[in-house]
Every structure is written in structure tokens, then in C-alpha cells.
Structure 1
Amino acid sequence: MLQERTEPAWIDAFETVLRRCAVQPGDTVAILGETQSRPVLLALAQLAAARVGARTFTLTLPSVFAAAGEPVSRSTGASPVIQQLAPVIAALAGCTLVLDCTVEGLMHAPELPAILKGNGSAQPRIVYVSNEHPEALMRLLPDDATEARVKDHVKRLRGARTMRVTSAAGTDLSISLQGAVAGGNWGSTTRPGTLTHWPGGLVLAFPAAGSVNGTLVLAEGDVNLTFKRYVERAITLTIENDHVTRIDGSGVDAELLRSHYAAWNEKEAYAVSHIGYGLNDAARWDSMALYDKRDFNGTELRAFAGNFLYSTGANEVAGRHTRGHFDFPLRHCTVQLDGATVIDAGQVVAA
């Protein structure tokens, strides 16, 4: 297991991201953490910000845990640590940049809009530093090629009316993109009022209600990122009007999935959150095999080039809210936008 200490190469990586985010000497950088954050990420963020001459402060909030009897949820992208504390929101809203080192990130946190709105004289941008071991972050630095590729596919996704996803394993999904909110992420941002996450390299859409129907087959080697587990026996999900209505399959993979979905005891947990695909050539599908579970958050598996990412859980666009969340990166799928193939059997099609 790699040790978590402040290696010079890891400070360099954080500095690179800050400079790609156009942080200037004298800018105010907030480092947001929680009691369960990786201490090394907070230290690396502070050292890198000092290198570029930024003025920094660190907020470390108490981590929030599930109450007795509630399901464990560590894969929502909606950190609950701020708890609507007005002084915390005001402090973050007044910064140039927030380095978000919370465990789950502020991507879907309820306080995010107020933070990104700013305080009248400032409007921050946020980089969620995914809760990975620093070695993975260093390998997956943002770069010009990935940024250009993601921007191109964001335009395609926003301009499309339909997405169809098929695979030799039996996946056949029809997705309406009308009314969807689409975007992309390449790991850095220079625009006030925006959020990115590092590592990046993927495009996503949050479909409107009633947009997704068909069959999703999780084949051997596909990934259940909520459980940080490669699928070993195929699972077939029947999806009707956005919701998983059947989970077919034998073995522990299917049993675990059925058990955790049922634990939430709410229909929204079975509904689509977002769909998209990975575009990061540096990210690897097999990397999860090389890390202990505690060292690994799985953003690399969401971003590896050619994967189709299907997620269930909260979807603000469709008006659905739940703490239950699954991310399923699938290999070997074909993705078409309005009939034009953008991913061909797991390979990104050149523009």
C-alpha cells in the first residue's frame, strides 16, 4: 500500500491544477475538508496554494454519518457536511477558488448554488479534489487534449435529441435528451461560478423525467463503483420510465445489488440520475485492481475512454431526490447520438 505523505511530485500535481485554474498571487483560496477527509489532500492543497502565492484558509467540518438503521451511502456526490451553516456558505462564496476535499464533494450538495452565486464582489469557482490516493491524482492531471475532446462532446450531447446505447451483452437503452441538462468535465476551470472535479474527462446528461427505457446488462468486467467491485456474473436491469423495475441475475453481484436498492425503501433510489461516457485516455479500467478500497474513490473508472456510465439516484432535473446512488461504468458499449456513433463497442470515435 502506498503511504500518504507529502511527496514533492504530489505537491507539483496540485500546483499544476491551480495554475490551470488561473489562480494568481493574492487570490483567496479556501480548502474545504471534513474530519474524515484524507489529511494528505488538505496538506497538499495548502502547500500548492502557497507556492502560487495565494492567500489560503482551511475549513474542516465534522463529518456526518448515517443514523442507526439507515443504509450506508458513500457515493452520492452530495456531501452533507455544510449543514446549511450560513457562515460557512458566506466564507466559501467570498473566495476566488474553493478546493473541495470533502469525501463526497459538493457536486450535488444543496448549498452549491448559493456558494457559486458568490457574495456580490466575488464569485468563486470550485475544484472537487476526488477522494483518491494522491498517486492517482498525479497520474490523471488535466491536459489540453482532454479538455478539447470533452468540450467537443459536450456540444454534441447538448445538440442531440436522443441517445441509444447497445452492446453485444444485451444492453439496449433508448434515452430522450429533450429537456436534459448536459455538461462535461476536464479537471480544471477558469470561469467564475463553475465547478469541476479532478480527475476529469467525461460528459454527462441528467435526463428529464420519463426519458429512459430499455435493458441495461452489467456484463463480466463492468463496474459497480458504489461497491468498488468488478462484476463477475452478468446482471440484467429492466428500466421502465426511468426506473429499474427488475434485477435479474444469479450470484453475489446481483444479490448485493438487490439488497442495497431495497434498503433505501424508496422508488427514487431505482431511478436514473445521469448518463454519459468517458473520454480520458490516461484513465484505466483496470486501475481498481491495484488499490485497496480505502485508497480509491473511483473517478478514474468513471472517466476511462469509451466507457458508458449509467447512474441511479438523485436527479434534480427530473425533480427526484434520494441518498441512494449507484455508478455503473460499462465496457464495450456502442453509444449513438441522433443515430451518429460516438462510442463504438467501447472505443471513442474520432471526430
Structure 2
Amino acid sequence: MLQERIEPAWIDAFETLFRRCALQSGDVVAILGETQSRPVLLELARLALSRFGVRSFTLVLPSVFSAGEPVSRSTGASDALQQLAPVIAALAGSTLVVDCTVEGLMHAPELPAILQGNGSTQPRVVYVSNEHPEALVRLLPDDATEARVKDHVRRVRAAQAMHVRSAAGTDLSISLQGAVVGGNWGTTTRPGTLTHWPGGLVLAFPAAGSVNGTLVLAEGDVNLTFKRYIERAITLTIENDHITRIDGQGVDAELLRSHYAAWAELDGTAARPPACAVSHVGYGLNDAARWDSMALYDKRDFNGTELRAFAGNFLYSTGANEVAGRHTRGHFDFPLRGCTVTLDGAVVVDAGQVVRP
């Protein structure tokens, strides 16, 4: 197991991140954590910030433990803030928020108020994914990935439809009309925005009723919420955004059925449970990220952002989707290999390979 101690190379990596976020002397930086955060990440952020001459402070909030619901992972919605007004005010008054919470603030209900700022200051947020620092060092942001993501964000925003096919049997139609599209390359310099490190992907949150077809999770694809490579194929039938059938044999399919059923019961909408509906779709663009990396980490050392971003994967996720008006803590991320992705008929990913200009 990798050890979580302070290493000079890891401090250097955080310094590089902050420089790419245009941090300047005199800025006010909040380091946000919770009691279940990886302590080394908060300490590395603090040490790297000391090289900038900024004013920084650290907030560590109690982690929240919920009873009476299934285990939730990969939600992107930390519930540590609990709508605490003094905490929100402190973050909103900062130049930069270094988010080291376990799940991150990406879909947290407090995020809009934080990004709005306090009138005189509007912060930007960088979520440091809950990875072992060794992975963060390997996946530092770079100019090429940033340019590539920005280019594909423009393409997806200009498109009316995305279509996904694979030799395994995936045939998925996605309307992009009314979708909210964004991209992430690991850094941000613009006030009022959020990024996450590692980065390197483009995503669309489709409007309600936009996704239909068949999604086949083939051998070697990833159930990232469970941190498992798929060993036996699973076929998902998707109608009007929702998974209506899960076909397949073996433990992979059984685990999926069991967890979805638990969230359907909790959400109280068995006919159309939001946990079974599309959250976002997109594809990875990070050449440094590797599909096989999950095999080399203990589960506790690995949050899986790398597998969301490896170049050429098609990422299908279910759960909360604010654009479609669906809210749930149940969430799955499925990075698929070998898919062909088209935008209005133009191929952008060809059998798992990003089409280069």
C-alpha cells in the first residue's frame, strides 16, 4: 500500500495546480475538509499555499452519516456543509476554495450560494478528488488537455444529438436540445466556476426525456461506483431516460439490480425512480489517464476520477440531474470502452479512440 506522508513532489504538484488557477499574493484561500477527508490532501494544500504569500484558512466540518438508506458513493454532492450560513459566507468571501471534502461540492445544494460570492468577491472552486496523491501527481493539468476539452465543449454545445454505438451492442440516442454542457480540464481561473483535479472530460446533462436505447456494459467496462471491472456483460434498456430492464447473468448484474432496487424503494417512485435515470453523459479526453489504473490501487486509495477521464471512454451516469429536475443521492458512473460517439453524425470518438483534428 502507498503511504500517505508528505512528499516534496506532492507539494510541488499542488503548487503547479494553484499556479494554473492564477493564484496571486494577497488572495484569500479557504481549504475545506471534513472529518473523513484524506488528511494528507489538506496538509499538502496548506504547504503549497505557503509558497504564494496568500492568506489561507482551513475549515474541517463533521462528516454526516445517514441511517436507513443504502450506501452512497460517487455522488459529487458532499453533505458536510448542512446549509451552515457562517460556513457558506466564509467560502463565498474567498478568492479560491480548495475543496477536499470526500464527495466534493459539484452537486452540493450550497454551491450556487458559494459561487455567487459576497458582493465584493466571487470565488472559484477546485475540488481535489479524494485520490491518493500519487495519482494526482500523474494527472497534473496541462495545456494540451485544456485545449482539447475546450474544443470538444464547443462541439457538444453546437450539436443537437449524440449517438453512441459499440460492437458489444450499445445503441443509444441522446437529444442535446436543452442540455447543459460543460467540460473540465483540472483548473479554473474564472470567478464563479468549479473544476476538479484530475480533469479531462466533456459532459452533458440532458433535459428530461432525452435518452433512449440500449447500453451494454461489456467485459472490461467499469462500474466505478462499486470500483469493479465488469466481468460478465450487462444490458441496460433505457426508455425516456430511465433504466427499465437490467439483463445479464452473474454477480455484476445482481449487484446492480440490488443497489438500484434499494434506491428505488428509498426514493418512493418505483415506476420511475430518479436513481435509475440519466444524470450525465460524455466522454474522456485525458491522454495521461489510464483505464487499467484501478487494478493497481486499494479501494480506499482510489476515487476513480481517472477512469472518468481516460481518453476515448464513453461515460454514462445515472442519478441526480438538476437540468431534468431529478434529485437523488443514488449515483452510478459507467465508463465504457470501445464505443463510437457521434455528434450530429460526425464521429468524435471512433471505437474508443478520440478523433484528432
Q: In which range does the TM-score fall when normalised by the shorter chain?
A: over 0.9
Tell me, yes or no, if structure 1 residue 329 matches structure 2 residue 328.
no
- Whether 1:299 and 2:305 are equivalent positions in the alignment is yes
The answer as to 2:325 corresponding to 1:319 is: yes
Structure 1 unmatched ranges of 5 or more = none
Structure 2 counterparts to residues 1-351 of structure 1, below 5 A: 1-67=1-67, 69-264=68-263, 265=265, 266=267, 267-351=273-357
Q: Is the partner of 1:196 in helix, strand or coil?
A: strand
SS in structure 1 opposite 2:219? Answer: coil
Once the two structures are TM-superposed, the CA of residue 192 in structure 1 deviates from its matched residue by: 0.3
Q: Distance in 2 between matches of 1:122 and 1:146?
A: 29
Deviations along 1:264-310, one digit per CA (max 9) or x if unpaired, are 12311100000000000000000000000000000000000000000
- In the aligned structure 2, how far is the partner of 1:314 from the partner of 1:205? 13
Post-superposition offset of 1:75: 1.1
Q: CA deviation at 1:245?
A: 0.1
* Residues 204-257 of structure 1, C-alpha deviations (whole Å, 9 max, x = no match): 000000000000000000000000000000000000000000000000000000
Please state how far the C-alpha of 1:128 moved relative to its aligned partner: 0.2
* CA apart distance, 1:314: 0.2
> Aligned partner of 1:342: which letter?
V
SS of aligned partner of 1:142: coil
Aligned length: 350
> C-alpha distance in 2, partners of 1:240/1:201?
29
Secondary structure at the residue paired with 1:51?
coil
1:24-76 CA-to-partner distances (Å, cap 9, x unmatched) read 01111100000000000000000001111111100000001121x31010210
CA positional deviation for 1:17? 0.3
SS at match of 1:173: strand
One-letter amino acid of the structure 2 residue matched with residue 249 of structure 1: G
Alpha-carbon distance in structure 2 between the residues aligned to 1:234 and 1:106 = 33
Superposed displacement of residue 171, structure 1: 0.1
**Cα distance in structure 1, aligned partners of 2:310 and 2:232:** 22
**CA separation in 1, counterparts of 2:23 and 2:107?**
24
User: Percent sequence identity over matched residues?
Assistant: 86
Secondary structure, counterpart of 2:114 in structure 1: helix
2:333 maps to amino acid: D
Q: Bigger CA drift: 45-54 or 233-242?
A: 45-54
| Gaps in structure 2 of 5+ consecutive residues | 268-272
1-structure distance, mates of 2:88, 2:50: 23
- Counterparts of 1:198 and 1:132, CA distance in 2: 10
Q: Distance in 1 between matches of 2:147 and 2:197?
A: 16
Query: Normalising to structure 2: TM-score of the pair?
Result: 0.98
